[in-house]
Structures are given as structure tokens and as C-alpha cells.
């Protein structure tokens, strides 16, 4: 019976010891060194990516690190386009991420990005072709006026990939045809404009020669 007080005292002593885990130390906040030691590099990179996409406490749709770096290098004055509440809540189009897409936009089987950014009072849709190569090229897909709300500018658009070989309707020719390469669909409410690359520039699908 005398062992019980001793065991209880031991448990109390153990409970009072400072924990070495990032989430188990209740006496002090975990410092950066402790977090770095206990979180693997992939998880930390993911956390950093989301943090870079945060604006005054509001988490936006995060961009890939490679795309973030391209924007910093080639469009340092632009910012990731913030979406209106209506665009954020619009689930009818079921896009994975309304801010950017990845596809084969120039048909050479090398990955490309398209992304929407805010610059001044306009929303610019930009493409980075062959982004993983030294020959990366930036092309403008389209530009639209940004929506002004409470003295701030917002995007009302969503981006969606139109996959190669998709069957689409050409209203000018009154017929359906398949896409030769991936395209960029710009969606606003119930209206969709499809852009494809032709002769080194993006044009609306129904304006093709």
C-alpha cells in the first residue's frame, strides 16, 4: 500500500516536466527550431506555400511554389487576384482552383501554367509556357476589368482547363469540333470564354482562322 503514494508522486513529477514535442509543451509556445526539427520538409513546404497565399489573415487558394516564383520574377507588381464572395461560393463549375490551371497549352507535351492576377484595376490572365524549362515564355491570354468593392479590386472569374480532344461547339461555324491542344476557359457566372493558342497568341476559340 505504501507504493501508491510513491507512484502518484512519480506521475505528478513526470507531468510537470516540460515536453519536447511541438504540440505537447503546454508551458510555452513551440519555437521555430523545435517545429523545424519535428515537421518533415514536405509538410513545411506545404505550410509555407499556404502562408505565402495569405492576405491579412484570409487564406486564398494557394498557388504552386513554381508558379509563385515565376510571378515574383516576371510580374513583381502583380498580386494574386482576390475573388469576390460570389465567385468563391460558386460551386456550379466545380473547378479545382479558380486562380490557376496547369495543362499542355502549346501542344508540345511540356507542362504550362495559366493564372489570373490583379494589376492596377485589371484582371490579367497570363500563361507561362514550358515553365519547367529554361525556355519558359510568358504570354497574355486575356484582360478584364476588375470589380470594385469597398475601394478594393476583385476578380469575378474562374479558370478551368479545357482538355485536348474535348468536343466543343463553334458558334460561328455552327458545328462541333475537337480541341487540338488544351485550352483556357474563363468562367464568369454562366458565361464561358474559351481561349486557345494560335500563331503564338491566345485568341477566343470561335475567332480561329
Nearest to 114 by CA among 104, 100, 124: 100
User: Is there a domain that residue 136 lies in?
Assistant: yes
Alpha helices in 65-204 (DSSP H): 65-74, 85-89
Q: Is residue 191 part of a domain?
A: yes
Number of domains in the chain: 1
Q: Percentage of the chain surpassing pLDDT 90?
A: 50
Q: Say whether pLDDT at 29 is over 60.
A: no
Residue 10 has pLDDT above 50, yes or no: no
Residue 177's pLDDT is what?
85
User: Is 16 among the domain residues?
Assistant: no
- Look at residues 156, 161, 147, 178 and name the one whose alpha carbon lies nearest to residue 111: 161
Distances (CA, A) of 122 to 38, 68, 125, 136: 43, 19, 10, 24
Supply the angle between the helices 65-74 and 41-52 in degrees, to the nearest 10.
Answer: 50
What span, in angstroms and rounded, lies between the C-alpha atoms of 176 and 77?
40
In a domain, 116, yes or no: yes
Phi, psi of 73 (to 5 degrees): -80, -45
- Does some domain include residue 21? no
The Cα–Cα gap between 160 and 188 comes to 11
Strands 112-119 and 100-103: antiparallel
pLDDT digits (tens, 9 = 90+) for 58-73: 446 789 999 999 999 9
- Residue 44's pLDDT band (cuts 50, 70, 90): low
- Is pLDDT at 115 greater than 60 in this prediction? yes
Residue 182's domain comprises 79-207
Burial of 112 (0-12, 13-18, 19+ CB in 10 A): buried
Separation of alpha carbons 178 and 31, rounded Å: 55
Confidence class of residue 107 from pLDDT cuts 50, 70 and 90?
very high
Q: Does residue 30 form part of some domain?
A: no
Is residue 34 situated within a structural domain?
no
Amino acid at each position: 500500500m505504501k507504493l501508491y503514494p510513491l507512484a502518484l508522486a512519480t506521475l505528478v513529477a513526470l507531468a510537470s516536466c516540460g515536453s519536447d514535442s511541438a504540440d505537447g509543451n503546454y508551458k510555452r509556445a513551440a519555437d521555430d527550431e523545435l517545429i523545424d526539427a519535428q515537421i518533415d520538409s514536405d509538410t513545411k513546404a506545404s505550410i509555407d506555400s499556404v502562408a505565402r497565399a495569405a492576405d491579412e489573415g484570409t487564406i486564398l487558394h494557394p498557388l504552386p511554389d513554381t508558379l509563385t516564383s515565376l510571378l515574383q520574377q516576371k510580374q513583381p507588381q502583380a498580386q494574386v487576384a482576390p475573388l469576390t464572395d460570389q465567385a468563391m461560393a460558386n460551386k456550379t463549375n466545380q473547378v479545382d482552383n479558380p486562380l490557376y490551371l496547369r495543362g499542355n497549352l502549346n501542344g508540345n507535351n511540356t507542362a504550362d501554367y495559366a493564372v489570373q492576377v490583379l494589376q492596377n484595376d485589371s484582371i490579367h490572365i497570363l500563361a507561362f509556357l514550358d515553365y519547367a524549362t529554361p525556355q519558359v515564355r510568358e504570354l497574355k491570354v486575356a484582360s478584364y476589368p476588375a470589380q470594385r468593392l469597398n475601394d478594393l479590386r476583385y476578380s469575378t472569374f474562374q479558370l478551368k482547363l479545357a482538355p485536348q480532344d474535348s468536343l466543343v461547339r463553334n458558334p460561328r461555324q455552327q458545328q462541333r469540333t475537337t480541341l487540338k491542344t488544351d485550352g483556357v476557359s474563363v468562367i464568369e457566372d454562366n458565361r464561358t470564354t474559351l481561349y486557345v493558342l494560335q500563331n503564338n497568341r491566345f485568341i477566343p476559340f470561335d475567332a480561329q482562322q
